[in-house]
Amino acid sequence: MDDKRSLVITPDFVAKLVCLLPADRIYTDPVDCYAYAYDNTRKIFPPDAVVFPVTTAEVQAIVSLCNDFKIPLTPRGRGTGTSGGSLPEQGGVALSLERMLRIINIDPANRVIVAEPGVINQSIQDAARPHGYFWPPDPSSAGYSSIGGNLATSAGGPHAVKYGTTRDHVLGLKAVTGAGDIIRTGCYTTKGVVGYDLTRLLIGSEGTLAVITEATLKLTPLPQSYGGLTAHYRDLPSCAAAIVRVMALPQTPSALEFLDAGSLNLIRSRFPNMLPPDASAMLMIEMDGSEQYISESRAAILSACRNEGLIHAEETVDTASLWLARKTLSPLLRDIAPKKINEDVVVPVSALPRFLDGLMQLSDRYRIANVNFGHAGNGNIHVNLLVNPDCADEMSRAEKCLNDIFDLVIELNGTLSGEHGVGSEKRAFVGKEIDAPTITLMKAIKRVFDPNNILNPGKLFP
């Protein structure tokens, strides 16, 4: 935290801001603003002011005012991100969308929900379920992350292996550009090819192009039933080989989660009798669909899981307990290390054996504790380097290890982020994946949407 940073906003700016919103929706006291200074990176960058619009018109007025004064404006959902995307690094105004909470329309006949960005992911699920539908994006933070945040990073989750990420389940958007214009993208129907696909451009742009104020979400019918399997392995290579075999089947699982030895030890610390003592890797597999489909899928997947390293595989009746254990992993990491460097890299599924082996070698080479788990069906592995930030030598080794991990990802034709976004945490490495001409084009697009560079300035690009 930089306590010496001078205020970006001026009394004149605050006076005009007060004309736009009631006093209870403007914070300028540093104590009040502090809650909007951090996200799940645990880094702290206090804004000079926090504002809480509740309509698109208010968002537009705030953006226009910030343009007039050249004030940085950082859109923010619930602050659950892990890449620093919602941190107001340059001060200015934090634009909290948490009070834009309306579900505007539920249209089961057309499989659509229209909602504002502050609506919690779980609230969308609760609204859709009575009509026989769900919204497939299901990040681990679904109970407290907002739709706006999910859109900002194109969030995924365990079920992305079958259903895709946020970008695949949005029909259209209303947004306010960095220039202060209200735009509508996409359409209300599942088919539509008029004009450029600005919807997919804005999703994943992390608030650098426009502020999304309304989203038309595409719903999916709830599966008739669910089935679960767990498979425990003596070693990591056997588990990685099984992942490749499972994903080569015509029966796609609805979730395929991987946990390494470090992850299993964390679960054992919380649920002592849940896992075999000799298991060093584990797969959690879910299937959904008709009873007949699940029966056929279970048999095929069980067969694919069998190899010399398999300890045992079994049908799981209590899938809720398994998912609870899986979702406790990330918080538990805080209990065993002062800091975790958390990355959500993705490699092609066929490259997972090489990648996981490479991770072990790099961890050993740099003497950095490492816990890995994630959405193996997509090749999306959450790499967690566990470090002590007060040990300069360890932090230096961790940075070198991370750099080599990213090089390995690119070598294997992967990507540096599958669902967390770039934000500030990964921006220094973007050039490893995106070439200079493409970055130049992206920056030109940014200037068209946001000519004064007020929206989330400094994010995404090295």
Do the domain assignments include residue 151? yes
Q: Are residues 277 and 214 in the same domain?
A: no
Mean pLDDT of 439-448: 98
Do the domain assignments include residue 97? no
- What is the reported pLDDT for 26? 98
Do the domain assignments include residue 84? no
Q: Are residues 250 and 359 in the same domain?
A: no
Mean pLDDT of 323-337: 74
Q: In this model, does residue 61 exceed pLDDT 70?
A: yes
Higher pLDDT, 328 or 132: 132
Q: What is the 3-state secondary structure (H, E, C) of the chain?
A: CCCCCCCCCCHHHHHHHHCCCCHHHEECCHHHHHHHCECCCCCECCCCEEECCCCHHHHHHHHHHHHHHCCCEEEECCCCCCCCCCCCCCCCEEEECCCCCCEEEEEHHHCEEEECCCCEHHHHHHHHHHHCEECCCCCCCCCCCEHHHHHHHCCCCCCHHHHCCHHHHEEEEEEEECCCCEEEEECCCCCCCCCCCHHHHHCCCCCCCEEEEEEEEECEECCCEEEEEEEEECCHHHHHHHHHHHHCCCCCCCEEEEECHHHHHHHHHHCCCCCCCCCCEEEEEEEEECHHHHHHHHHHHHHHHCCCCEEEEEEECCHHHHHHHHHCHHHHHHHHCCEEEEEEEECCHHHHHHHHHHHHHHHHHHCCEEEEEEEHHHCEEEEEEEECCCCHHHHHHHHHHHHHHHHHHHHCCCECCCCCCCCCCCHHHHHHHCCHHHHHHHHHHHHHHCCCCCECCCCCCC
Handedness of CA 189, 194, 200, 205 (dihedral sign): negative
- What is the reported pLDDT for 5? 52
Q: Are residues 207 and 233 in the same domain?
A: no
Q: Are residues 286 and 238 in the same domain?
A: yes
122-133 pLDDT tens trace:
999 999 999 999
Mean pLDDT of 443-453: 98
Domain CATH for 110 = 3.30.465.10
Q: Are residues 136 and 208 in the same domain?
A: yes
Do the domain assignments include residue 323? yes
Q: Are residues 232 and 286 in the same domain?
A: yes
Average pLDDT of the chain is 94
> Minimal CA–CA distance to 150: which of 163, 160, 141?
141
- What is the reported pLDDT for 331? 72
Q: In this model, does residue 1 exceed pLDDT 60?
A: no
Q: Are residues 253 and 303 in the same domain?
A: yes
> What is the domain range of residue 386?
337-411
Domain CATH for 370 = 3.30.70.2740
Do the domain assignments include residue 15? no
Do the domain assignments include residue 13? no
- What is the reported pLDDT for 274? 82
- Band of pLDDT at residue 2, cut at 50, 70 and 90: very low
| Number of compact structural domains in the chain | 3
Domain boundary among 221, 240, 255: 221
Domain CATH for 263 = 3.30.70.2190
Domain boundary among 302, 327, 352: 327
Mean pLDDT of 348-352: 97
Do the domain assignments include residue 173? yes
- What is the reported pLDDT for 462? 87
Do the domain assignments include residue 347? yes
Domain boundary among 194, 221, 248: 221
Q: What percent of the chain has pLDDT over 70?
A: 97
- What is the reported pLDDT for 328? 73
Q: Are residues 274 and 383 in the same domain?
A: no
Q: Are residues 107 and 210 in the same domain?
A: yes
- What is the reported pLDDT for 125? 97
Q: Are residues 120 and 182 in the same domain?
A: yes
Q: Are residues 299 and 372 in the same domain?
A: no
370-405 pLDDT tens trace:
999 999 999 999 999 999 999 999 999 999 999 999
Q: Are residues 179 and 259 in the same domain?
A: no
